[in-house]
Amino acid sequence: MTDFLHIKNIRKTFPGVVALDDVSFSVARAEIHTLLGENGAGKSTLMNVLTGLYHPDRGEISIAGERVHFTSPRDSLAYGIGMVHQHFMLVPAHSVFENILLALENVPNFFNRKKYQEKIQNLIDEFDLDLDLDTPVWKLSIGAQQWIELIKLLMRDCQLLILDEPTAVLTPQEADRLFAVLRRLKEQGKSIIFISHKMREVMEISDRVTILKKGCSLETLNRGDFDESRLASLMIGQDKIPQWQKTLQMSDQVVLDIQGLSVRNERGLSDLDNFNLSLKKGEILGIAGVAGNGQKALAEVLTGLKNTNQGRIMAGDKDITNSNARYSYIAGIAHIPEDRKTIGIAPDMSIDDNLIMKSFKSGLFRNWIFQNKRAIRRNAAEKIAQFAIKTGPDGTPVRYLSGGNIQKVIIARELSEHPAVLVALYPTRGLDIGSAEYVHKVIADGAHRGMSTILIAEDLDELLKLSDRIAVMFRGKLIGYVDPRKTTREEIGLMMSGETPGATT
């Protein structure tokens, strides 16, 4: 096997943090190489070094035997390295064709539109993708938008494609389609770095797997030399995974009742359309659906961040329709938001302060009109220990934590007031096995205490494992409920695309 990429002894530090420490690994031509590691292991930093966003403090990068030095993403692209990020870099108002054209180099001011359209259409046809060049991006599903990002890189003839959690926004059927495309690209001689936390996918698609831990490259394993348990063991090492057991806790008491809910977005289109849902006391109600089918609007309406155009929301005997976030909080509804870094935290404030953002007026944290710093620090120490949050020195801004530890800070804060209902929007997105299990344990323990959870997730294995019932959404409507003990991933996948093979009431 001939190496296309070789990384040797890469080190990258930030103030007070060693993000990468002596990382070495290689990617062969025509290989799908998976990168595994816990949150904070250094995967994102390493990819940012590879794509020219960060400059390593030391170490070597070689492409096809030639030592290279990247000063910008343009340099990385020039050497054939391209990345499909989790958050797509598309202009929603522009068409598919215009978005792809924007990514190309050296397009003249006066260009032959037909010639470029033919080139792009040939790629679409070659991989049998469902894309119309004239459709505005905002009208497309998340899965279709991901195809655009991939085509942008193929049009630039990238030889190494980096895909960061590419199946996070796909149905099982769409994920299978993506894997077929990746295998086809591999047959054409392309190299692929695949980043995923889903062991099922890693086992299916990987030729080799490299495990990162605490900024170091721990081991590279060939296909046939690893299974799910060995990979998990290497990733986690001596770290303990919390144990929890799910039992059916829900009663017949309805704690949240949504009737005929309709919500329109800023473009006047329906995010929710005559939507009905009931949540029972102690229930973990999973919400399945491809991202962009109304899940975010549902969470925002329930937590007072968005108003409804029609319908009613009852939390017990309280009408919380069109309430604000403060009233929803008083009514006993807690919220784990989708974008933890943008709206889940105050990034430049300390961990201690982030943990009391909803209760800073409480007498527990005040001495008359002044903050009680000792009480705030004591509360933080308790929560850090309880939720196994890995932090830096006291007073460290929360933005310096890894994604998994930021998520733990949010969960610790939201559950500190013992809410009746938790609305969790993609709470384990991008988290490693250990961090995800902490989130699962918190939700399961909450159910034992009578807390009800609306769990909006993209990983069907997670929903099947944790939920008492699963409600499936498609284009702002409730398709139906399924019993996770009696259904399959494939049946839910069909419902996510609008069919109703296994739905119940």
Q: For position 361, what pLDDT does the model report?
A: 65
Q: For position 183, what pLDDT does the model report?
A: 92
**Which among 417, 449, 468 is the end of a domain?**
417
Together in a domain, 298 and 391: no
Together in a domain, 201 and 121: yes
**Among all chains, which residue has been given the structure tokens 């299916």?**
204
Closest by CA to 231, choosing from 217, 242, 220, is 220
Distance CA 21, CA 402 (A): 16
Together in a domain, 299 and 159: no
Tokens encoding 277: 């849902």
Beta-carbon neighbour count of residue 353 at 10 Å?
Answer: 19
Find the Cα–Cα–Cα–Cα dihedral 19, 25, 27, 31, rounded to 10°: -100
Q: Is 338 inside a domain boundary?
A: no
Together in a domain, 41 and 142: yes
> DSSP 3-state assignment of 502?
coil
Distance CA 24, CA 6 (A): 8
**Which among 383, 417, 451 is the end of a domain?**
417
> CB of 412 within 8 A of CB of 388?
no
DSSP string covering 246-290:
------S-EEEEEEEEEEE-TTS-EEEEEEEEEEETT-EEEEE--
Tokens encoding 267: 């473009």
Q: For position 241, what pLDDT does the model report?
A: 65
> DSSP 3-state assignment of 293?
coil
Task: State residue 300 phi and psi, 5-degree precision.
Answer: -70, -35
Together in a domain, 173 and 27: yes
Task: State residue 359 phi and psi, 5-degree precision.
Answer: -130, 20
> CB of 466 within 8 A of CB of 441?
no
Q: For position 496, what pLDDT does the model report?
A: 83
User: Which CATH number belongs to the domain containing residue 498 in this structure?
Assistant: 3.40.50.300
Together in a domain, 133 and 259: no
Q: For position 398, what pLDDT does the model report?
A: 81
DSSP string covering 100-151:
HHHT-SS--SS--HHHHHHHHHHHHHHTT----TTSBGGGS-HHHHHHHHHH
The boundaries of the domain holding residue 294 are 240-332+419-505
Single pTM value for the model:
0.68
Together in a domain, 253 and 355: no
Q: Is 339 inside a domain boundary?
A: no
The CA-CA-CA angle for residues 116, 118, 124, to 5°, reads 110
pLDDT 10s digit of each residue in the chain, 505 long? 688 999 999 999 887 778 888 899 899 999 999 988 876 678 888 888 989 889 999 999 999 888 999 888 888 998 999 888 877 788 888 999 999 988 888 777 777 888 888 989 998 888 888 888 999 988 887 778 888 988 999 988 889 999 988 887 677 778 888 899 999 999 999 999 998 877 888 888 999 999 888 788 888 888 988 887 788 778 776 566 666 667 666 778 888 888 888 888 766 677 888 888 889 998 999 998 877 788 888 888 888 777 888 888 888 778 878 776 666 666 678 888 877 767 777 777 887 788 876 666 666 777 777 777 777 788 778 888 777 777 777 777 888 777 778 888 888 888 877 888 899 888 887 677 777 888 888 888 888 888 899 999 877 888 888 899 999 988 888 888 988 888 888 888 888 877 775 555 4
Please, what's the largest Cα pairwise distance for the chain?
Answer: 73
> CB of 475 within 8 A of CB of 294?
yes
